[in-house]
Structure 1
Amino acid sequence: MAESSAAWSPEDNPPATAALATASQWRLMWWQFKKHRLAHACLYIAAALYLVALLADFIAPKDPGATSTRHTYAPPQSVSLFMRDDDGLRFLPHVTDYRVTIEPQAVRRVFVADESKPIPIGLFVRTAPYEFLGVVTLSHRLIGPLEAGKPFYLLGADRLGRDMLSRVIHGARVSLSIGLVGVAVSLVLGVVFGGVSGYYGGAVDDVIQRVIEFLKALPTIPLWMGLAAAIPATWSPLTVYFAVTVLISLIGWTSLAREVRGRFLSLKTEDFVASARLDGAPEMRVILRHMAPSFASHIIATLTLAIPSMILAETALSFLGIGLRAPVISWGVLLQEAQNVRAVASAPWLLLPGVAVVITVLAMNFLGDGLRDAADPYGG
């Protein structure tokens, strides 16, 4: 079969032998990662989730703490792009207002869409001033009703009439950041203890490995419950946030430490390590400057797979009431509303934070799988 005469492009095809031999480790990792199409797509999904979390103040239609007694458990409103009137069909993005009726048997309010009362919506609408990232005062939001004060609940409302969409978006900021902060703490603990264990060996290795085995043998939920019970009730929400992050990280670093230890055991006899020692480099410099970067891609892949575990741990702790608590908004705190079966039966949209958790965890897991495969560029 004749070979194609088209010029080779590393963006579209596997690299040629010469390019493969001269490419950097990160370039090889990127080529291999792009072969994993699902992981490649999940990279953009994860980036979009963190962008939404960062811009939550602007993207959320309302203040997540704003209540409305008239709209408790209001159902989600559907968005229509066109409206028919006397002039015919015209483009007008809108939602419909609610009409409240009383159900005689259950003696409860029922919200019905009132097609005769459309509520026009738009982008970059003017709202009450708010603090963006606590730094800049803005008076516009990404989306909302053009007329202030009109009901706008794309994902429904909770028992206090608070907008679920705004609360899910703001909850992403806490839940996703706990994953990053927790992984950062695990990175430091895992690389330091794992590196010291694998580099020195002997008694130091035995002590660190026994500590890791002890921590891994502890049942996590009872351990977290005991540690969370020790958090003073007088602490501020921000202090509790960091305390919960540290509690989650106390368990998360052990797997990374084992990974780093195994790599150090195989690397400490390599020529470049011996050269660094003979050159008089301090031992911590040899560990952190020469040995750890040589398998940085594997560390990144391991940490990416650890982020969903951190998010699930925070969600579980907050759902059980031993993690974050109101007024902090996280996906786990929001799911506490779903503990009431009667409330869920009448307002199933209270489970939407759980959907956000599932999407995030799946995206991060697929992304981590792709990075783990790409960390060994010559293996595929």
Structure 2
Amino acid sequence: MSDVPGTSKVPRTRESQFSLMWRRFRRHQLAVVSLWVVVAFYVIAAFAEFLAPTDPSAYSARYTYAPPQGLQFITTDENGNWQFQPHVNGYKTEVDPKALRRSFVLDPEEVIPVQFFAPSEPYKLAGFIPMSVKLMGVENKRDPFYILGADRLGRDVLSRLVHGTRISLSIGLAGVTLSLVFGIIIGGFAGYYGGRFDSAIMRIIEFIRSMPTIPLWLGLAAAMPKDWSALQTYFAITLILSLIGWTELARVVRGRFLSLRTEDFVTAAQLDGASDWRIIIRHMVPSFTSHIIAAATLAIPGMILAETALSFLGLGLQPPIVSWGTLLQEAQNIRTLASAPWLLVPGVCVVVVILAFNFFGDGLRDAADPHGR
């Protein structure tokens, strides 16, 4: 029964912090679209072997700098009727009489059928799931299939772009994860204890942030032994980016801890005999987890750009590792770009992902702000 006659009691529901944050986040339409873009790129990275039409290292000297064929779905039969048939057009060769240089042009008369879920050579998806089918492929393996064109060795740009997505995006996640661990531990203890320890940590952070970033990256990357394997180089680059990128997260965590250490729930935990480590991890960190997530999301683009810049300059990841940075090394020559502009596609992917992460992070930051609209 209700206390007021004629009214019914409405049951009250309690929402968690994350449910409230998600409700506010959904109002940010650009951030929601960016979230789906980010998810799409990580799905591509997770299923790279299945989505890439060919092996990224497979080459064909016959089709060097072959232009993009483009995937088409409608053909016309002899009677002029339309029919659904995924296909690409073949190539025909033309020779420039002045430069005496061979070039490829699409031949609309040659139709190469494309199969979805086409059989392929056996491979392992994500390194452990045996499979022998690709998302797309041609019936005759000798036919050219370059949806986004070929590079200087006749390698499929699309396949290399898909595999490069895994390396570049995973470095961003791994680097931010390590930075998050360093930032929470160092910044958390600095803000919790304060005093001389806090002053010392802040001087170290200021010193690291005052150093020019690109020369520091170049110097640390150049110090890596040349005889290291591709896997060792990958982890070294990730560690370098993390050792440089933890300072901003540490400052965010330290500022939050300074404001939280005088709260009643922290005092109650101290009086209850909880250890400092338990107070930090069990009580203080969960109280602003949403802010940490937003800060980490905004830090990922910096990690991706750092790896791309190092690899582009030849001091980061090196072939045979395929990343967006190593792919952009092909686009360093202006003369090459004039004849093969499709080699800049990895740069377009970098721009799209960075913008998506920034919009997504802005939406998370606004949603995590309890005083926001």
Which of 217, 220, 226 in structure 2 is aligned with 1:224?
A: 217
* Residue 181, structure 1, aligned to residue 163, structure 2: no
Q: Write out per-residue CA displacement over residues 118-166 of structure 1, whole angstroms, 9 at most, x where no aligned residue.
A: 0001210011222222213321100121222211101000000000001
Q: TM-score, normalised by structure 1?
A: 0.93
Which of 319, 336, 341 in structure 1 is aligned with 2:334?
A: 341
Match of 2:146 in 1: 153
Q: Write out per-residue CA displacement over residues 306-338 of structure 1, whole angstroms, 9 at most, x where no aligned residue.
A: 001100110011111111100000000000010
- The answer on whether the counterparts of 1:99 and 1:114 sit within 8 Å (CA) in structure 2 is yes
Q: Write out per-residue CA displacement over residues 10-51 of structure 1, whole angstroms, 9 at most, x where no aligned residue.
A: xxxxxxxx9999322111101110110000111111111101
The alpha-carbon distance between structure 1 residues 305 and 375, as it changes in their structure 2 partners (threshold 3 A), is same
Match of 1:73 in 2: 65
Match of 2:3 in 1: none
* Residue 281, structure 1, aligned to residue 281, structure 2: no
2-structure distance, mates of 1:226, 1:19: 63
2-structure distance, mates of 1:202, 1:244: 34
Q: How far is 1:82 from its partner?
A: 1.8
The percent identity for this pair of structures is 58
Q: How far is 1:78 from its partner?
A: 2.1
Q: Write out per-residue CA displacement over residues 326-375 of structure 1, whole angstroms, 9 at most, x where no aligned residue.
A: 00000000000101111111000010000000010010000000000000
* Residue 123, structure 1, aligned to residue 125, structure 2: no
Match of 1:329 in 2: 322
- The answer on whether the counterparts of 1:74 and 1:158 sit within 8 Å (CA) in structure 2 is yes
Match of 2:296 in 1: 303
- Aligned residues: CA RMSD: 1.4
Q: How far is 1:87 from its partner?
A: 4.4
1-structure distance, mates of 2:59, 2:187: 49
SS in 2 for 1:234: coil
1-structure distance, mates of 2:326, 2:234: 12
2-structure distance, mates of 1:22, 1:269: 27
* Residue 97, structure 1, aligned to residue 83, structure 2: no
Look up the equivalent residue of 2:361 and give its one-letter code. G
SS in 2 for 1:154: coil
Match of 2:309 in 1: 316
Q: How far is 1:377 from its partner?
A: 3.5
Match of 2:40 in 1: 48
Q: Structure 1 residues 327-336 or 83-92, which shifts more?
A: 83-92
Q: How far is 1:233 from its partner?
A: 0.7
- The answer on whether the counterparts of 1:32 and 1:377 sit within 8 Å (CA) in structure 2 is no
1-structure distance, mates of 2:194, 2:46: 43
Match of 2:132 in 1: 139
Which of 187, 194, 197 in structure 2 is aligned with 1:194?
A: 187
Q: How far is 1:105 from its partner?
A: 1.1
SS in 2 for 1:247: helix
Which of 245, 253, 256 in structure 2 is aligned with 1:260?
A: 253
Q: How far is 1:86 from its partner?
A: 2.0
Which of 17, 39, 43 in structure 2 is aligned with 1:25?
A: 17
Q: Structure 1 residues 107-116 or 34-43, which shifts more?
A: 107-116
Q: Write out per-residue CA displacement over residues 279-306 of structure 1, whole angstroms, 9 at most, x where no aligned residue.
A: 1111111111110110000000000000
Look up the equivalent residue of 2:18 and give its one-letter code. W
The alpha-carbon distance between structure 1 residues 198 and 19, as it changes in their structure 2 partners (threshold 3 A), is farther
Match of 1:12 in 2: none
Q: Structure 1 residues 102-111 or 36-45, which shifts more?
A: 102-111
2-structure distance, mates of 1:23, 1:80: 49
2-structure distance, mates of 1:21, 1:283: 34
1-structure distance, mates of 2:132, 2:276: 54
Look up the equivalent residue of 1:76 and give its one-letter code. P
Q: TM-score, normalised by structure 2?
A: 0.95
* Residue 84, structure 1, aligned to residue 76, structure 2: yes
- The answer on whether the counterparts of 1:198 and 1:261 sit within 8 Å (CA) in structure 2 is yes
* Alignment gaps of 5+ in structure 1: 1-17
SS in 1 for 2:150: coil
1-structure distance, mates of 2:134, 2:184: 42
* Alignment gaps of 5+ in structure 2: 1-9
Q: Write out per-residue CA displacement over residues 243-274 of structure 1, whole angstroms, 9 at most, x where no aligned residue.
A: 00111111211011111111000000111111
Q: How far is 1:376 from its partner?
A: 1.2
Match of 1:213 in 2: 206
Q: Write out per-residue CA displacement over residues 66-103 of structure 1, whole angstroms, 9 at most, x where no aligned residue.
A: 00001000000022222223244222111111111211
